[in-house]
Chains A and B, each alone.
Chain A
Amino acid sequence: DADVTQTPRNRITKTGKRIMLECSQTKGHDRMYWYRQDPGLGLRLIYYSFDVKDINKGEISDGYSVSRQAQAKFSLSLESAIPNQTALYFCATSESGGLGTEAFFGQGTRLTVV
């Protein structure tokens, strides 16, 4: 089983619909992240959370919201989806503390807004 699991893996939704992408992890990490990836633009940070009570905006948070339901779960919501939110979305986790650590990524969710 994957350490970082994203659901759904693929989703097609209509403009204006609310949609939630879910992420769960079994690594016991405090930190969780949501990214989107568009062709040729690399990974852009949407939101990040350093613990259950901590939520922070990233580089491109407009049109998105998140919920950290538990240490292991971090959900990304699109309140009213629009076509330019069509992208590949990744969730990631990492440990806190220490000077060096690595991030672990989920398999990604391909979202298409029509």
Chain B
Amino acid sequence: LAKTTQPISMDSYEGQEVNITCSHNNIATNDYITWYQQFPSQGPRFIIQGYKTKVTNEVASLFIPADRKSSTLSLPRVSLSDTAVYYCLVGDMGGATNKLIFGTGTLLAVQP
């Protein structure tokens, strides 16, 4: 499983764009990059997933450079309700060896 490294915490203000970067230097060919969001006392929920280049949905964008050794989750115009922990996972999600290891994530604190 590819090890991931992401900042422990980040601060932002309402209305700003937030970019959270995750490093995964030993990502494998079959690995996807997936981001989850977790609010206090709730289970994580899927935000976005990608394999290469850029993926965008109604919640976020995911930027993946050509070498795939890192990825950046971009949250446009954050609000107070975006305060949460964000986890970056790398793995062959449906594959035989994937164990869904989450790590400690990045705590994003959005202030007014």
Complex contact A33–B100 (CB within 8 A): yes
Complex contact A101–B102 (CB within 8 A): no
**Interface size (A, Cβ < 8 Å)?**
33
Interface size bucket, B side?
20 to 34
Is B85 positioned at the interface, with any CB of A under 8 Å from its CB?
yes
Question: How far is A112 from B109 in the complex, measured between Cα atoms in Å?
Answer: 28
Is A59 positioned at the interface, with any CB of B under 8 Å from its CB?
yes
Q: Which of B49, B93, B102 contacts A43 (CB 8 A)?
A: B102
Residues of A close to B95: CB separation below 8 A? 99
Complex contact A42–B85 (CB within 8 A): yes
Complex contact B32–A99 (CB within 8 A): yes
Complex contact B46–A90 (CB within 8 A): no
Residues of B close to A43: CB separation below 8 A? 44, 87, 102-103
Complex contact B100–A90 (CB within 8 A): no
Is B94 positioned at the interface, with any CB of A under 8 Å from its CB?
yes
Residues of A close to B85: CB separation below 8 A? 42
Of the candidates A96, A101, A108, the one having the most CB atoms from chain B within 10 angstroms of its own CB is A101
Given A105-B44, A105-B45, A106-B43: A100 and B93 within 8 A (CB)? yes
Question: How far is A45 from B103 in the complex, measured between Cα atoms in Å?
Answer: 9
CB-nearest residue of chain A to B101: A45
Given A102-B49, A103-B46, A105-B45: A42 and B94 within 8 A (CB)? no
Residues of B close to A108: CB separation below 8 A? 41-43
Complex contact A96–B94 (CB within 8 A): yes
Is B30 positioned at the interface, with any CB of A under 8 Å from its CB?
yes
Complex contact A88–B100 (CB within 8 A): no
